[in-house]
Structure 1
Amino acid sequence: MEITGIYATPGYSGFFFDDQRAIKQGAQQDGFTYTGTPVTEGFDEIRQAGETLIVDIELADGTVVRGDCAAVQYSGAGGRDPLFKAEEYAPVVEGPLANELEGRDATAFLDNAETLEELQVDGTRLHTAIRYGVSQALLAAAAEADNTTQTDVLADALGTEPAEEPVPVFGQSGDARYTNTEKMFVKGVPVLPHALINSVEKIGEDGGTLREYVEWLTERSQELGPDGYEPRFHIDVYGMIGEVFGAPYDRDEVVDYFADLEEAAAPYPLQIEGPMDVGARAEQIEAMVELRDGLADAGVDVDIVADEWCNTFEDVQAFVDAGAADIVQIKTPDLGGIHRSGQAVRYCEGTDTRAYLGGTCNETEISSRACAHVALATNAAQVLAKPGMGFDEGYMIVENEMRRTIARREREQLTADADEVTADD
């Protein structure tokens, strides 16, 4: 079935764009916004409304499927593409991109997605958000044309066997790190709470505020969680451990702090995302390796998660090859085409590094559902609940999409088995 039309409509995403550099440099919160002057190119305010470009693909039978172009909350930081402004890119999608893809076979997902990855307009590769959103629509088109699930389309493209159970979902609390986390405990969320520790105030001058929070996590999870609940704690510190302690990261003071966090989390496993941000990929890898070596030598069992400077597929390869992290976040909008996120998960196979299929609160329900299919197709270690920072909505979207897909695949398998028995008779 052919692709007959591609259309683009600017819209809103599930959260906001934030100027991370300005926030790290001390911008003060004013209610929900921030006061001060933005410092990252493209920003008019330190916090501004998130945008998406809604992409509709029309098929020859009149069916319309959709993908949503989205960029991360902290756009333009850590080596990422610049701030995404949807109206600027709508003519690109309906012009040169549509000219390239219209008339193609919708079932040829991987060929179409790779064409999108390589396409240049005026000598420039398309913004990662465009590649992300259009590839979602191409994935949906292939599934619709083949009357199958997006999980199965991706599994065929990536050469995988899909997961038979939902991938563990990672809930993110936003700044409501107590109330939203209690919601997660009640629902038995397997990985939590993210916690958004993005300032010295939130971690504490000596790290003590974070240590107290981890102690609270352990105690409250036991009070509120369902019977047999065994959560995995995952906290994103946005480089704040580096801000508080500084290099070198294998020295006793730093290692002892991680040991304190491990003790506070016991008996549950602990993952710390983005322990430092040293400003460039090579230096970040070196610092992460130094920290991991120090923890290993001391027998401290806290997993380190790569985030800053781990954006593209090539970045993921570099962190994995160097053994710089126990887990790498595959930040889906930053990899471009959605199949590239699947390929990045696969790159972790057979290594000591696990793949966390992440992304951003600043996505949409369409992109989040598409990522649930990537998680199932690749059996990632965990997948982010998104979009938004309210927790419940994102968790519902991602968890339910996986459950619906698994149930459909099971029904179809039962039908296929029954047909085979009938044919044998």
Structure 2
Amino acid sequence: MQITDVLLAPGNGAFFYDDQEAIRSGAPQDGFIYVGAPTTPGFKSIRIPASSLSVGLVLTDDTIVWGDMMNVQYSGAGGRDRLFDTAQISDLTSRVVVPRLLDVNASQYLEACATVLQPHENKRLPLAIEYGVSQALLRAAAHLHRATMAEIVCTEFNLPLPTRRVPIYCQSGDAREINVDKMILKAVDILPHGLINSRQKFGVDGQTFMAFVKWVATRTREIGRPGYHPVLHFDVYGWIGQEIGLDPQSIADFICRVADAVPGFMLNIESPADFGSTQAQIENYAKIVSILDNRESRARIVVDERCNTLEDIRLFAEAKATHLVQIKTPDVGSIADTARAVLICKENNVGAYMGGSCTETDLSAYASVHVSVATQADMMLAKPGMGVDEALSIVGNEQNRLLAMLSRRRAQKENVG
């Protein structure tokens, strides 16, 4: 077998794990921390430094390939896995996953994932384990075939080698104004996220949010290079529903007013409301999408909460309950399922946004780039972390390197042919 040993190494995620429910309930900020008692199980404080666990596969030629396990920023919220526990994940990986890895054909990627990541004691493995191990297996297959990770994905899913770059979306975190300026100066394709995750940031009847949207549009025109015309994408963490109510018509009316305030820009609104369950989310988001489409609005809905797993993504896509799906990679689990999720979206004419979390690592970001480009997602998140420069550098540079390699590969094949 190609895997002779497995290494585990604890590490840091690039941001923090946050108790979304406590923040949504009004926990005040004191500098960078949130004050008050946590409410989501597993949290000992509202904001906790993100942790990760690297899994290294030692191959027969002594090459070691790695993948990183972690959870998303708002762990335990919206139907997601509990807060990441390094000791627990390490123990389960050592006892259950490592023996499987040592007895698998790592050159067959999808087959290896299916074997190694099968349920344990009739329960699915923690999604963090699926995510990290599937990254490592993808790197192993790429090494064994002397190919890029993107080429392995293309081969396994019978996809052509891609030629198109995937538009990159940056997120601002709380340093909104400074980071928006950075994004504009660097001509980011899609911006700015905004982190509208509290009543204070959304404002009474959404007035604070509306003012911020207008400011971003104005600032783009003021300091952007000639011809620069990004998509405006705001994550409101359910606050339209929280502040205005859960009536789909009222939510759609508000979104249309926001779009009308920034004429000429395409507007993405992520997580406009949380209706409490996946089924309720599908039913009500489908109504919002229908209203916006009938009005020929320039606004698009992006689903995040309550759309976590591959099956969730399939349900939303088939029901046309969103314009774009945020495929939040650690929540999907195996990165092979992330590829499947993009293809499901495409089959149903729904936009595929290869997302993830600020809590991820450089390694998980690199793997995400390869899957995103291979499947030709409609957009992908600059990650990890909440800083613009680092995430854009990691994701953007890897995409450019990958496209250069794929271009050379195509030329080699043409010459041979």
TM-score (norm 1): 0.95
Cα RMSD for the two superposed structures: 1.4
Retained in 2: the 8 A contact 1:218–1:264?
A: no
Matches within 5 A, 1:10-409: 10-120=10-120, 122-251=121-250, 254-409=251-406
Distance (whole Å) between structure 1 residues aligned to residue 186 and residue 43 of structure 2: 37
Q: Deviations over 1:281-316 (max 9, x none)?
A: 111112212222332344433100111100000110
**What is the DSSP-based 3-state SS (H/G/I as helix, E as strand, rest coil) of the residue aligned with 1:305?**
strand
Q: Deviations over 1:45-95 (max 9, x none)?
A: 110010101110010011001100011000011001111111222132233
Retained in 2: the 8 A contact 1:34–1:46?
A: yes
Retained in 2: the 8 A contact 1:117–1:336?
A: no
Distance (whole Å) between structure 1 residues aligned to residue 270 and residue 105 of structure 2: 41
Q: Deviations over 1:85-109 (max 9, x none)?
A: 1122213223321111214222111
Retained in 2: the 8 A contact 1:7–1:57?
A: yes
Distance (whole Å) between structure 2 residues aligned to residue 52 and residue 78 of structure 1: 21
Structure 2 residue aligned with 1:423: none
Distance (whole Å) between structure 1 residues aligned to residue 368 and residue 336 of structure 2: 10
Q: CA deviation at 1:417?
A: 3.0
Tell me which amino acid in the other structure corresponds to 1:182: D
Tell me which amino acid in the other structure corresponds to 2:49: A
Distance (whole Å) between structure 2 residues aligned to residue 255 and residue 315 of structure 1: 23
**What is the DSSP-based 3-state SS (H/G/I as helix, E as strand, rest coil) of the residue aligned with 2:414?**
helix
Distance (whole Å) between structure 1 residues aligned to residue 381 and residue 335 of structure 2: 15
**What is the DSSP-based 3-state SS (H/G/I as helix, E as strand, rest coil) of the residue aligned with 2:290?**
helix
Q: Deviations over 1:206-229 (max 9, x none)?
A: 111111111111111122222321
Retained in 1: the 8 A contact 2:265–2:298?
A: no
Distance (whole Å) between structure 2 residues aligned to residue 142 and residue 384 of structure 1: 25
**What is the DSSP-based 3-state SS (H/G/I as helix, E as strand, rest coil) of the residue aligned with 2:406?**
helix
Q: Please say if 1:416 is aligned against 2:413.
A: yes
Distance (whole Å) between structure 2 residues aligned to residue 416 and residue 308 of structure 1: 43
Retained in 1: the 8 A contact 2:161–2:406?
A: no
Q: Deviations over 1:99-146 (max 9, x none)?
A: 1121422211111111233131x4432110010001000000000111
Rate the CA distance shift 1:60–1:119 in 2: closer, same or farther, 3 A.
farther
Q: Which moved more, 1:294-303 or 1:354-363?
A: 294-303
Q: Deviations over 1:348-368 (max 9, x none)?
A: 113231110101000000000
Distance (whole Å) between structure 2 residues aligned to residue 147 and residue 296 of structure 1: 46
Rate the CA distance shift 1:56–1:295 in 2: closer, same or farther, 3 A.
same
Q: Kindly, what percent of the aligned residue pairs are identical?
A: 41
Retained in 1: the 8 A contact 2:248–2:287?
A: yes
Rate the CA distance shift 1:116–1:34 in 2: closer, same or farther, 3 A.
same
Retained in 2: the 8 A contact 1:107–1:145?
A: yes
Retained in 2: the 8 A contact 1:242–1:275?
A: yes
Tell me which amino acid in the other structure corresponds to 2:79: G
**What is the DSSP-based 3-state SS (H/G/I as helix, E as strand, rest coil) of the residue aligned with 1:329?**
strand
Which 4+ runs in 1 deviate beyond 6 A?
none
Distance (whole Å) between structure 2 residues aligned to residue 298 and residue 208 of structure 1: 23
Retained in 2: the 8 A contact 1:72–1:360?
A: yes
Q: Deviations over 1:252-272 (max 9, x none)?
A: xx4432222112222110010
Ranges in structure 2 where 5+ consecutive residues have no aligned partner: none
Q: CA deviation at 1:236?
A: 0.4
Q: Which moved more, 1:211-220 or 1:329-338?
A: 211-220
Tell me which amino acid in the other structure corresponds to 1:188: A
